[in-house]
Amino acid sequence: MIEIQGLTKRFGKTVAVDQLSFEVTPGRVTGFLGPNGSGKSTTMRCMLALDRPDAGAALFDGRPYQTIKRPLFEVGALLDAGYVHPGRTARNHLRAIASSNGIGATRINEVLELVGLTEVAKRRVGGFSLGMRQRLGLASVLLGDPHTVILDEPANGLDPEGIRWMRDVLVHLASQGKTVLVSSHLLSEMALMADDLVLIGRGRLVETSSVESFVAKHARQWVRVQSPNVDLLRQPLVEFGAAITVVNDTTVEITGVGAATIGELAARHGVVLHELAPQQGSLEEAFLEVTANSQEYRTHSPFAPPQVS
């Protein structure tokens, strides 16, 4: 269980994290989301006592991180896979970390096997791809088999197979009852992996909920209708208060009315339907909707598709 209580961190006049409070529960993967510069990494550094917060606290099972004597057995954290000495071998990198907490060579071999780096354990980390470094970072997280795992952008640099592997690992850890907090910019991946979300913007908590309810609440919902005589439905739908967006001659997207109502209207007016499909926007769409006013750096992209009205 992680509890963040009124965490505040300032860099000069900039407030990077502002009175942030949330909880991360065991047995679930919690996604930590926010636009660039929203304070996710700073929050994680404050949680691990790497940055000194100006106010507030982060507690792991009721204790601040700096009071934990052998943290690798309780909290495994990977903030940046680049935090390695390029001249050191993968095994020696892990040995240096493990020995500080009294973890022996057997466990190092186990985690190397778990992340698939056994064959390259004697190679210098400087020659590793970013994906291999992410795997090495995860190995260091797993060294003490901790009950809490914190990862900052763990999928960076991983290929599709690696991303899927990382997802499976995190879901498996949560299924073992561990507390998993993970930040990522890959929202499609987060949608597949996370059970809960903590969303921040400009250092403040924007929303915390389950992924399901977050998407249901913020993403657009519509019904896609395909019919050879779709025009016959237009008038009855408008009378029901529906908004209609024409996709092509036979297809429309309808908001404001449910699929059941549309089906009944179609039957009543003798309209043949080829498709009647409720649709829901993605986590990405919901995220962009909620963080529209929290983006630190944004531009109007000339590459964005034109809005349909």
Partner 1 sequence: MDLLRSEWIKLRTVRVTYVLTIIAAVFPLIIVVLVTALNSHVDEVSGSDLVTIITESMVLSALLFGVVSTLSITNEYGNGTIRTSFTASPNRRKVLIAKGAVALAFSMAITAIVMLVAFGAGSLILNGRGGSLSFNSDTNSALVGLVLLSGMLCLLGYGLGLIIRNSAASVTLLVLWPLLLENLARVVLAVAKVNNPTMWLPYQSALRMVSPRHFEEYNSSGFGAGIPLAIVVFVLIGVGIVVNERRDA
In the complex, the residues that contact partner 1 under the rule CB under 8 A are 45, 48-52, 65-68, 71-72, 77, 79-80, 82-89, 92, 95-97, 99-102, 140
Return the closest-CA partner of residue 94 out of 104, 130, 126.
104
DSSP state, 209?
E
Q: Could you tell me the smallest distance in angstroms from the CB atom of residue 74 to partner 1?
A: 11
Helices 130-142 and 90-99: crossing angle, nearest 10°? Answer: 30
CB of 56 to partner 1, least distance (A): 15
Note the helical H segments in 115-219.
130-142, 160-175, 187-193, 211-218
* Closest to partner 1 by CB, 32 or 287: 32
The residue written with tokens 């899927």 in the block is 164
Which CB, 49 or 57, lies closer to partner 1?
49
Q: Which residues pair with 208 in a beta bridge?
A: 198
Minimum CB distance to partner 1 smaller for 134 or for 140:
140
Please state the closest distance from residue 143 (CB atom) to partner 1, in A. 9
Structure tokens at 303: 């590459």
Q: Which is nearer to partner 1, 100 or 213 (CB)?
A: 100
- Smallest separation, CB 289 to partner 1 (Å): 34
Q: Is 36 exposed, middle or buried (0-12, 13-18, 19+ CB in 10 A)?
A: exposed
Angle at 13 between CA 9 and CA 14, to 5 degrees: 55
Nearer to partner 1, 50 or 277 (CB): 50
Pair type for strands 29-33 and 196-201: parallel
Q: State the nearest-atom distance from the C-beta of 123 to partner 1, in Å.
A: 13
Nearer to partner 1 (CB atom), residue 95 or residue 234: 95
In whole angstroms, what is the distance from residue 25 CA to residue 179 CA? 6
Of 97, 169, 176, which is closest to residue 108 (Cα–Cα)?
97
CB 281 within 8 A of CB 220: yes
Least separation in angstroms between residue 286's CB and partner 1 is 33
How near is the Cβ of 139 to partner 1 at its closest, in Å?
Answer: 12
Q: Which CB, 77 or 286, lies closer to partner 1?
A: 77
Minimum CB distance to partner 1 smaller for 93 or for 178: 93
d(C-alpha 18, C-alpha 12), whole Å: 13
25's tokens: 């529960």
Instruction: Output the smallest distance, CB 183 to partner 1, in A.
Output: 16
Two structure tokens written together for 192: 């597949």
